[in-house]
Amino acid sequence: MNKEEFLQEIKKLNIELTEKMAEQLKQYADFLLEYNKHTNLTAIKTEEEVYLKHFYDSLTLVKIANLTTGTLLDVGTGAGFPGLVLAIVFPNLRVTLLDSNNKKITFLNECITKFQLPNVQTIYSRAEDFTRIHREEFDFVTSRAVAELRILLELNIPALKVNGKFLVMKGNIEEEIKTSLKTMEILHCKIIKKEQFDLPNQGGTRTLLSIIKERETDKKYPRTYDKIKKKELK
């Protein structure tokens, strides 16, 4: 997907970029690919892949949430996906980028300065350490991480305000949903929206979930990551 195709496809998502936003994304793509030559940030090596699998994919979250305002935490953001893309396109959204890889945080801080983004901050921390302290703070939490849904739920739900939404980005997720139902019950949250679609240009299948938090999270969650991974909530 080249830049022009990207701009056409996001119009179908009802997103219109200003010239400044389009230029910031172009600079982001260029800077990412150049930086990636000496620091491993992404397996993606071409501008076309960046526009499809990072930029377009990140913006598909508008299918399940109104992200024009509010606060959003992106857990395990990596090189800034989806959080930094959302911060560029929705300047009234206050975005916190969380990652435990300091090299990626360094890259993100350079991006924030380079693109002059006052609505973004970075946090260098493990997810469970951050969400154990920063409870009920965010309108949205998202994660494009590879962990199982039940693990992501316990890591992320504590950081959401009551009635806040956890925005999940996955491929095929049916089995993970089944194995996460008890976790959702214990953490007082439920799926309110599900969108499944194919990315353009045979980019693969994407499933998006919007999970609403209905009550405050018990302070014993999240557990340590080892415990979360080894033992399901029951």
- Is the pLDDT reported for residue 93 higher than 80? yes
Residue 203: the pLDDT is 78
> Mean of the per-residue pLDDT values for the chain?
96
- Averaged pLDDT, 68-97: 98
Domains contained in the chain, CATH given: 66-230 (3.40.50.150)
Q: How far apart are CA 123 and CA 98, in angstroms?
A: 5
Pairing of strands 70-75, 93-99: parallel
Q: How far apart are CA 223 and CA 227, in angstroms?
A: 6
Cβ–Cβ < 8 Å for 63, 210: no
Query: pLDDT band at 201, cuts 50/70/90?
Result: confident
Report pLDDT digits (tens) over 96-119: 999 999 999 999 999 999 999 999
- Is the pLDDT reported for residue 13 higher than 90? yes
The phi, psi pair for 75, rounded to 5°, reads -90, 125
Cβ–Cβ < 8 Å for 70, 96: no
Residue 156: the pLDDT is 97
- Is the pLDDT reported for residue 53 higher than 90? yes
Length of the chain: 234
Dihedral, CA of residue 85, residue 104, residue 72 and residue 128, to nearest 10: 150
Residue 145: the pLDDT is 73
Report pLDDT digits (tens) over 136-179: 999 999 999 779 999 999 999 999 999 999 999 998 899 999 99
Cα-to-chain-centroid distance, residue 173: 16
- Contacting residues for 44 by C-beta, under 8 A, at least 6 apart: 50, 53, 54
CA-based nearest residue to 233, from 139, 148, 151: 151
Residue 73: the pLDDT is 98
Residue 9: the pLDDT is 96
Residue 202: the pLDDT is 80
Residue 36: the pLDDT is 96
Distance linking the first and last C-alpha atoms of the chain: 44
β-bridge mates for residue 96, sequence order: 73, 121
**Can you give the pTM of this predicted structure?**
0.96
Mapped onto helix, strand or coil, the DSSP state of residue 11 is helix
Residue 204: the pLDDT is 84
